[in-house]
């Protein structure tokens, strides 16, 4: 597929990209230099943990870092037409996600199963989005669960299910930080933009719209979840790994000012540099990060169990590296793992990979 070329504020698209990179790096507050982590200008750097014991102490001593998680299982399949994605949470349970999280020193405070309606109104008169009432109902339940988990001092990990669940998870995160009068950043890993609206989508599938909804564009029943919009600022949002973009999405990305890093950027610069640039683009005036990780960001040869595979994606190590580097900032407050489809998987290979990604996002390192 032809690589999309954007003109976003922090994308790298022309011969002057080196200057752009230097400008971004000059204002970077999230850095990794000689084993130290600087989270904000006011925080003194501390040695990076190198053993599991040091990692545990690092989590306890870090800025507002939780040592417990809440697992939120969302077998949502209404956002697209691909059978099998609703089995994603069950596959993660088979992969023993809860026990593996506890093995690296976190406590699983609670496990929540979100109910998804079986009877749906697939098409609605005067609506081009499919299953919007049902997705809105599920999204509110997810938002409540995520906000409750954050309020209780845990890290909500929302496991899907299709990516339309992010409408609810981001709404819950946003409502939490809004009440505290704080900002948060969004890093969205995906092969696709997921930034269509009902007016631009050919399929009407809502799993191609959650990013747009979170930015305040789309069906009002989804956009106004929790009573306000947008849920996240475009300048605090980053797309990473995109390579299969619809033409209208290119225009939306450019107009909104969302920061976008394509697979071409990753091939050219390396995933480590792109992660640095993503953090720089978001800025240091945030209280936390929400990481929404669509498994199809990874190359299908590595992660076959997804609904909408797209070749030329992240490698096994690139996907882990990105989350390890984000974990080192101490800023991850909530996580989505989505679009796992066991019906297309091989011996639960992709569920095992997804479980490992969660562990990397929580701070597990090789040593």
**Residues identified as active-site:** 163, 190, 192, 194, 207, 294, 296, 339
Three-state DSSP class for residue 340:
strand
CA distance 65 to 103: 18
Residue-wise DSSP of 59-82: HHHSTT--SEEEEEEE---TTSS-
Count other C-beta atoms under 10 Å from residue 112's C-beta. 18
Q: Name which of 106, 99, 156 is nearest 352 in CA terms.
A: 99
The residues, ordered by sequence, that sit 6+ positions from 192 with a Cβ below 8 Å of its Cβ are: 208, 242, 244, 245, 294, 296, 308, 310
Q: Is the dihedral of CA 364, 42, 66, 139 positive or negative?
A: negative
Task: Output the CA–CA distances (angstroms, integers) from residue 3 to 155, 221, 256, 262, 326, in the order listed.
Answer: 35, 33, 20, 8, 26
The DSSP code for 118 is: S
CA distance 343 to 59: 36
Q: Name which of 338, 363, 361, 333 is nearest 173 in CA terms.
A: 333
Q: What ranges make up the beta strands (E) of 250-306?
A: 259-262, 289-294
Largest distance between two CA atoms of the chain: 59
| DSSP β-bridge partners for residue 298 | 314
CA distance 88 to 75: 7
CA distance 87 to 85: 5
């Amino acid at each position: 597929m032809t690589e999309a070329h954007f003109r976003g504020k922090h994308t790298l698209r022309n011969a002057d990209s080196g200057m752009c990179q230097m400008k971004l790096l000059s204002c970077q507050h999230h850095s990794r230099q000689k084993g130290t982590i600087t989270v904000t200008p006011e925080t003194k750097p501390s040695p990076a943990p190198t053993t599991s014991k040091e990692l545990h102490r690092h989590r306890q001593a870090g800025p507002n870092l939780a040592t417990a998680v809440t697992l939120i299982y969302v077998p949502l399949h209404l956002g697209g037409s691909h059978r099998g994605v609703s089995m994603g949470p069950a596959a993660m349970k088979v992969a023993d996600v809860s026990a593996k999280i506890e093995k690296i020193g976190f406590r699983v405070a609670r496990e929540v199963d979100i109910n998804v309606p079986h009877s749906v109104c697939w098409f609605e008169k005067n609506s081009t989005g499919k299953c919007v009432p049902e997705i809105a109902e599920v999204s509110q339940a997810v938002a409540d669960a995520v906000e409750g988990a954050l309020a209780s001092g845990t890290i909500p990990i929302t496991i899907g299910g299709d990516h339309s669940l992010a409408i609810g998870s981001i709404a819950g995160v946003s409502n939490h930080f809004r009440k505290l009068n704080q900002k948060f950043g969004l890093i969205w890993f995906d092969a696709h933009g997921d930034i269509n609206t009902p007016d631009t989508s050919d399929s009407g599938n809502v799993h191609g719209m959650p990013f747009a909804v979170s930015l305040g564009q789309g069906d009002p029943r989804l956009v106004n979840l929790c009573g306000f919009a947008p849920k996240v600022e475009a300048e605090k949002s980053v797309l990473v790994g995109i390579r299969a973009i619809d033409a209208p999405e290119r225009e939306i990305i450019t107009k909104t000012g969302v920061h976008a890093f394509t697979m071409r950027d990753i091939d050219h610069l390396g995933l480590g540099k792109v992660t640095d640039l993503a953090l720089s683009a978001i800025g240091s005036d945030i209280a936390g990060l929400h990481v929404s990780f669509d498994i199809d960001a990874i190359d299908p040869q590595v992660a076959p169990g997804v609904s909408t595979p797209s070749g030329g994606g992240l490698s096994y190590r690139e996907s882990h590296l990105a989350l390890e580097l984000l974990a080192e900032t101490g800023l991850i407050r909530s996580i989505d793992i989505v679009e796992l489809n066991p019906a297309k998987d091989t011996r639960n290979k992709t569920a095992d990979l997804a479980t490992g990604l969660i562990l990397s996002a929580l701070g597990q390192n090789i040593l």
